[in-house]
Each structure stands twice: as structure tokens, then as C-alpha cells.
Amino acid sequence: MVETKSLMEQAENNLLHTYNRFPLVLDHGEGVYLYDSEGKKYLDFAAGIAVQALGYADEEYNQALKNQIDKLLHTSNLYYNQPVIEAAEKLCAVSGLDRVFFTNSGTEAIEGAIKAAKKYAYEKDGCTDHELIAMNHSFHGRSLGALAVTGNAHYREPFEPLPGIVKFADYNDLDSVIKLVNDKTCAILLETVQGEGGIYPAEEEFLNGIRQICDEKDILLILDEIQCGMGRCGTMFAWQSYGVKPDIMTCAKALGCGVPVGAFVMTKAVADASLKPGDHGTTYGGNPFVGAAVSKVLDIFQDRQLTKHVRETGIYLEQELDRLKSQYECITDRRGRGLMQGLELTVSAGAVSSKALEQGLLVITAGNNVLRFVPPLVIGKEHVDEMIQKLKKVLDNL
Ligand SMILES: *Cc1c(COP(=O)(O)O)cnc(C)c1O
């Protein structure tokens, strides 16, 4: 205990206090389990916030990274490098989109997507007063541009005014979107499944309706797949189960499975009429190291048929969460797709996730009253059972 305490003290004396962290120091991981500095084992249903799709210490993935470290880490984007060329080709193949820009994070992917949309509109009419439509309760990141499209007053207010003209509609309310569309609208931006906002999947008619508006008015549809993409909802990207295709998609989180990398990916039509040499750049983005990671991640997804596994395991997780809901009055709703699930509670979700630590379970929240389940995609049914057992103990002792 002394070691954990002193490490926590050291952290608070040196790291900027922008997180109220759980009181544990994570040390290493194996499969779907994490171990803290005292050797205590945790079943991980948080996956580093939907990042560690392959779990921990995957031999094939780790070996690919080690090989690349010994070969070449970084060169800048002034030169070509083979790993990122391969990664881009694979990302285009699985998304059906055409051009990729690699970033270092999700928030930067959003920035790039917004810039591409603005440039696309600017190329058409030479004006700079274009508007974006985003959603209430959305989350797109913490940089000023990403905050500008994030529909959460608490995150935004201290940092206003935020750049651009952004209007907010209600998620899954098509009329509220239609009301905001005008000749200046250059893009409509939304998460295919809202994550931080409380795990709300888009309804079919809503997403299809937005696609139709965009087609009619040459407005770009930007889908944020940073959390719900990369197989989490049972298809490589969540929108692939809706029969709509975005003009621009953002990814990050599980794209690198632990290596910091994001991307915005677009159709050739948008690429040809938006960002040109000199319009956008990054020193690190898409370097050989992250290229090798993304490339290997996409190979592993294919080789191990992970999306199929997610569909099967996701159905089981849904069933078991529904059963739990029928057993506990404090659970009022279960929402989600695949291995991205939320339980709405009448009690504090933060309290439940804190208590879960004592049972050796890592689970996180989405907002105040939603418990969020975003485990490694490689979990088996036995891990779902184990999680339910642990969660029951927490709920029984509330
Ligand atoms: C996490 C997240 C982001 C921001 O990604 P960072 O890598 O933290 O910058 C943006 N959009 C969604 C939907 C996210 O879940």
C-alpha cells in the first residue's frame, strides 16, 4: 500500500490535476486482465477507453512494434515510408473510403475533418462563413476546434468563444437537424454511436435522413467513429451496418491498439476538392512506428475475424446485461451495439465503478448515470460471466 500511496502523491505533485484518477497504479497487462503495482488482478472492461481492442501483451502485435523500433521510428512526412503506405491502403480497403490522413489523436482527426469540410466549401464559393451542424451531448475532443463541435456546456464554457459557426441539433431528432440546415451549412458531424454522451446508437431513419439531406445539398457527412469504430459495434465501422457511407470519417482509439494514432479518411471526391499541399500537416502523424502498428492491427482484425467474434460476444453481453437489468431496480435501461454497451442507473455510475475496483473489475462511466462497457474485443463469454458476477457483488452491496 505504501508504494501505491507514495506513487499517487508523487503524481499529484508533478502531473497537472486534470483527472480525478482511480486510486491504483497499473503495472502490466495480460490478455483481458490488468495488474496493479501490488499485484492485484483486474478484469478489464474499460480497455483504456475503448483502445485496447486486442487486450494486452498480444505477441504478434508486440513483435511487429519491436521489429519496427529496431528498423525505423520516425522520418517526418517529407519522405515516404512503407509501413504507413501499407496502413493507409488497408484502412481504405476496410472502409471503402479513398484517402487517409494520419494524426496523433482523435481530437486531431476531428480538427482535420473540420478543416477538410471548410476547405471543400471554400473551394466552391470562396466564402469563409460556412456553418457546421453538430449534436447535443456529443463528444469530439478537447482541442479548441473539437470543443467547438462538442455539445457539452460544461466542457466548452470556460474556453469560449470557440472557432467557427457551429449549431447544435438533437441526436436522433431529424427535424431538429433539418431546421438548422441552410445555404451556409458545409458539414453535419456526429458520432455513429454517441459514447461519452451516454451510449446512444443512431437510429436508422435518423442517419439515413441526414445522408439524404447531405446528398441533396452537397453538404458533407462527417461520422466520428473514434470510439464506436474499429469493430466495436460488430462491423469494422459502425456506419457499415446502416447502409450509409460518410464523406469523411474520423478514427483513433483502437486504430493503434495502444499506440497514439488517429486518422481522418475521406472519399476521393472530397479529397480532390479540399485539402491541398500546404493546407494541413503534422510532424509525427503517420510515422513508420504508428504505421506498423495500424497495419498489424488491421491484419489481425482480418486474420482472427474479430468483427464476427464481436457480433457473437456482443449478443451474449447484451443478453446478460438485459438479464441483470431485470434483476436490479437501479438499472433503468441498456443501450448499445456489439461490445459498446451502457447501463443507465438511478444511482451514481461513478460510485459503482469505484466499488467495482474492490471486486477486481475495471468499468467506466459515460456521464453521471451510465455505466459504460467497452472491453477488449477479444473477450470470451467466460469473461462476460465473470464481469456479471463481479458487478452483481457491487450492486448487492450498494
Ligand atoms: C475519445 C474520443 C475523441 C477524442 O479522441 P482523443 O484521442 O482523446 O483526442 C473524439 N471523439 C470521440 C467519439 C471519442 O470517443
pLDDT tens-digit readout, 263-289: 999 999 999 999 999 999 999 999 999
Residues 102 and 180 both lie in one domain: yes
CA of 46 to the centre of ligand 1 (A): 14
DSSP per-residue codes, 246-272: -SEEEE-GGGTTTS--EEEEE-HHHHH
Q: Tens digit of pLDDT for each residue in 354-391?
A: 999 999 999 999 989 999 999 999 999 999 999 999 99
CA of 127 to the centre of ligand 1 (A): 29
User: Residue 320 pLDDT more than 80?
Assistant: yes
With respect to residue 65, please indicate whether it lies within any of the assigned structural domains: no
With respect to residue 133, please indicate whether it lies within any of the assigned structural domains: yes
49, 108, 137, 140, best to mutate for ligand 1 pocket (most atoms within 8 Å of CB): 140
CA of 150 to the centre of ligand 1 (A): 11
CA 183 to mean position of chain CA atoms: 31
Nearest CA to ligand 1 atom 10: 140
Which one of 256, 272, 303 terminates a domain? 303
Residues 299 and 309 both lie in one domain: no
Residues 317 and 375 both lie in one domain: yes
With respect to residue 66, please indicate whether it lies within any of the assigned structural domains: no
Model pTM score = 0.98
- For the residues 40-47, what does the mean pLDDT come to? 98
CA of 253 to the centre of ligand 1 (A): 7
User: Residue 235 pLDDT more than 60?
Assistant: yes
CA of 215 to the centre of ligand 1 (A): 27
CA distance 285 to 33: 30
CA distance 85 to 295: 9
Nearest CA to ligand 1 atom 6: 106
Strands in 248-251's sheet, in edge-to-edge order, are 99-103, 262-266, 248-251, 220-224, 185-191, 131-135, 165-169
Residues 149 and 124 both lie in one domain: yes
**DSSP-based three-state secondary structure for 283:** coil
Q: Which domain holds residue 110?
A: 72-303
Q: Residues of the chain with pLDDT > 90: what percent?
A: 98
CA distance 224 to 201: 12
**DSSP-based three-state secondary structure for 281:** coil
Mean pLDDT of the chain: 97
Residues 109 and 249 both lie in one domain: yes
Residues 226 and 102 both lie in one domain: yes
Pocket of ligand 1 (CB under 6 A): 105-107, 110, 139-141, 191, 195, 224, 226-227, 252-253, 262
Residue 3, pLDDT score: 86
**381-396 vs 306-327: helix crossing angle, rounded to 10:** 30
With respect to residue 336, please indicate whether it lies within any of the assigned structural domains: yes
**DSSP-based three-state secondary structure for 332:** strand
CATH code of the domain in which 30 resides = 3.90.1150.10
Positive/negative CA dihedral, 93, 95, 101, 103: negative
Local confidence band at 2 (pLDDT 50, 70, 90 cut-offs):
low
Q: Residues of the chain with pLDDT > 70: what percent?
A: 99
List, in order, residues 6 or more apart from 137 with CB less than 8 Å away: 151, 152, 171, 194, 197, 198, 200
Residues 42 and 119 both lie in one domain: no
With respect to residue 93, please indicate whether it lies within any of the assigned structural domains: yes
Per residue, the 3-state secondary structure of 45-81, as one string, reads: CCHHHHCCCCCECCHHHHHHHHHHHHHCCCCCCCCCC
Which one of 268, 303, 338 terminates a domain? 303
With respect to residue 388, please indicate whether it lies within any of the assigned structural domains: yes
Residues 131 and 203 both lie in one domain: yes
The atom number, within ligand 1, closest to the CA of 262 reads: 7
With respect to residue 288, please indicate whether it lies within any of the assigned structural domains: yes
Per residue, the 3-state secondary structure of 83-112, as one string, reads: HHHHHHHHHHHHHCCCEEEEECCHHHHHHH
The closest of 205, 233, 186 to 335, measured between CA atoms, is 233
Q: Tens digit of pLDDT for each residue in 80-111?
A: 999 999 999 999 999 999 999 999 999 999 99
Which one of 285, 303, 321 terminates a domain? 303
Residues 50 and 187 both lie in one domain: no
Residue with cell 431496480: 329
CATH code of the domain in which 216 resides = 3.40.640.10
Number of separate domains in the chain: 2
Local confidence band at 318 (pLDDT 50, 70, 90 cut-offs):
very high
Residues 170 and 315 both lie in one domain: no
With respect to residue 64, please indicate whether it lies within any of the assigned structural domains: no
Residues 107 and 135 both lie in one domain: yes
User: Residue 179 pLDDT more than 80?
Assistant: yes
* Cβ atoms of residues 130 and 184 within 8 Å: yes
* Cβ atoms of residues 177 and 188 within 8 Å: yes
Local confidence band at 347 (pLDDT 50, 70, 90 cut-offs):
very high
Residues 122 and 234 both lie in one domain: yes
Local confidence band at 340 (pLDDT 50, 70, 90 cut-offs):
very high
CA of 134 to the centre of ligand 1 (A): 15
